[in-house]
Structure 1
Amino acid sequence: MIRTIVVLSLILMLFVTVGYAQSERKAVRKGNKEFKKGEYLDSEISYRSALELNPASFKGNFNLGAALYKQDKFEESANLYADMAKANTSANANELANVYHNLGNSYFSQEMYEESVEAFKNSLRQNPNDMETKYNLAQAQRMLQQQQQEQDQQQDQNQDDNSDDDQQQDQNQDDQQQDQNQDQQDQNQQEREQQISPEDARRMLEAIQNNEQQVQERVQEEKAKRARVQVEKNW
């Protein structure tokens, strides 16, 4: 009785597994038809349905990445292919070469040329005779070189701008220092002009004294006149 139950359980599990496998393949085939028609969003949905039944499905994941790429979801497709490359290290060389090829395209479309070059090289390590991958690698290398040149030019430009700023700052400091020196010179000149030399001070003192003496003499003369007048008018 127990043996019979075990056998029936195994048969039931086999039928369920076969049913899931058939449903998965059916969903993948449906996605493939939609992909060929250019219905990429619908194909994405179908591939995801297949992956719900079998998350490890190589075809489901690979084709899902292609559907994402066709919708310009380059970052998502790159992440998916990168995960596949890590998880399917034991896959056959041709399958792994295709994964790296599509990974390189996903990076290339994001202008991540250094990562793209490395992905295409990994693809050629698995399939050295793939002419399309060789062409894509050459394109990625050319774009990487151009990108690096532009970055170097931008860096040089930034350095020149910084140098110009430093020169302008130095010039402003020099101008400010010259203005300060000129102000100090003007102030010193004014102080010198305001100062009285000992000779000038002596002359000014003599002039004051002379003026005072003249005033005193005039005062004495006036007193003498008044005295003379009073004497003459003395009744």
Structure 2
Amino acid sequence: MRKYIFHITITVIATLFAQAGAFAQEGTSKLIRQGNAQYKKQQYADAEASYKKALERNNKSVEGSYNLANSYYEQKRFDAARQQYANTIKTATGKDVKADASYNIGNTFMEDKKWEESIKSYKASLKANPADEQARYNLAYAQAMLKKQQQQGGGKDDKENKDKQKDQKDKKDQEKKDQQKQDQKQNQDEKEQDKEQQQQPQPKPSKLSPEEAKRLLQNLAQQEKKLQEDKMKKVKGTPGSVEKDW
């Protein structure tokens, strides 16, 4: 990160400034100098407070805005630093300030390993200052890291796809094995049922002795005779038509 401290020579034209404005400008500069001294002592939180007070007096102070961003950066508050550098770019008119602010924005993205964003910022820095070799080096480094990340990501995706395909194949194989086991069990159950049925005692035709057969025939003959007699009685007892004797 570039610890950028402004050294500005101001030519004051008395007719353009009121006395109150001059006092306000002096107060802003004093607070910025105080912040710079604290910054050099690595008292970054104190420096932050001084720069904020300076910006309360003059919110267009490029030096106060830039160095406030630096104090955020040193406290590893990269999101806040990034936003403050962006504010500096909006208010700054000089290309050098814009280039350095863009460079430091790239550094904040590098800290978070956001390679694409850092590449964009370093390119913006080089656009403002094409002679900046540090920005060029960091740009090349970020591009290399992005390429490496993409290669690793692609390899990871391939591995995940292969693992997923393997899991699906293992699942199908297991389902097939389970179905085969179920079919085997069903076949075994059916075989056992058939075996049990074969083992059950089957009804056998009874064998009659000659005497039992003779008695059975006699009984059948008697029953047949009785049926014939009952039939005849019914016929005889049936009422018929009677002719009248006129």
TM-score bracket relative to the smaller structure: 0.7 to 0.9
Whole-Å Cα distance in 2 between the matches of residues 159 and 110 of structure 1?
28
More helix by share: 1
What corresponds to 2:75 in structure 1?
Answer: 71
The letter of the residue matching 1:53 is: R
Match of 2:108 in 1: 106
**1:56 and 2:53 matched:** no
Farther off after superposition, 59-68 or 180-189:
180-189
Any idea what the Cα deviations from partners look like across 1:124-159, whole Å, max 9, x if unmatched? 011111011111111111221222222223222322
Q: In structure 1, what is the equivalent of residue 178 of structure 2?
A: 176
Task: Name the CA distance, whole Å, in 2 between partners of 1:74 and 1:176.
Answer: 57
What is the CA–CA distance in structure 2 between the aligned matches of 1:121 and 1:132, rounded to whole Å? 12
* 1:40–1:70 CA contact under 8 A, matched in 2: yes
What is the deviation of 1:19? 1.2
Give the distance between the partners of 2:172 and 2:88, measured in 1 at CA: 57
Identity across the alignment (%): 30
* Structure whose alpha-carbon radius of gyration is higher: 2
Q: In structure 2, what is the Cα distance between the partners aligned to 1:42 and 1:73?
A: 15
Task: Report the count of equivalent residues.
Answer: 197
Take 1:84 and 1:195, find their aligned partners in 2: how far apart are those partners? Answer: 96
Match of 1:209 in 2: 206
Are residues 173 and 71 of structure 1, via their aligned partners in 2, closer, same or farther at CA, if it must alter by over 3 Å?
Answer: same
1:163-211 superposed Cα distances (whole Å, 9 cap, x missing partner): 23212221221122112211221122223324459xx99xx444x524x
Q: What is the DSSP-based 3-state SS (H/G/I as helix, E as strand, rest coil) of the residue aligned with 1:209?
A: coil
Q: How does 1:121-136 map to 2 (within 5 A)?
A: 121-136=123-138
Quick check: 1:36 aligned with 2:40? yes
TM-score by length of 1: 0.74
- Tell me, in whole angstroms, the C-alpha distance in 1 between the residues paired with 2:109 and 2:103: 10
- Listed one character per residue, the Cα deviations across residues 196-232 of structure 1 (whole Å, up to 9, x for unaligned) are 59xx99xx444x524xx47x98xxxxxxxxxxxxxxx
**Matched residues in 1 for 2:183 and 2:71: separation?**
74
Residue in 2 aligned with 1:19? Answer: 23
- Answer yes or no: is 1:91 the counterpart of 2:130: no
Q: Which runs of 5+ in 1 are unaligned?
A: 1-10, 218-235
State the 1:106 CA deviation. 0.8
4+ residue runs of structure 1 moved beyond 4 angstroms?
none
Instruction: Check whether the contact 2:102–2:122 (CA below 8 A) recurs between aligned residues.
Output: yes
Structure 2 unaligned residues grouped into runs of 5+: 1-14, 213-246
Which residue of 147, 156, 159 corresponds with 1:157? 159
Which residue in the other structure is 2:229 paired with?
none
Contact 2:65 2:87 (C-alpha < 8 Å) held by counterparts: no
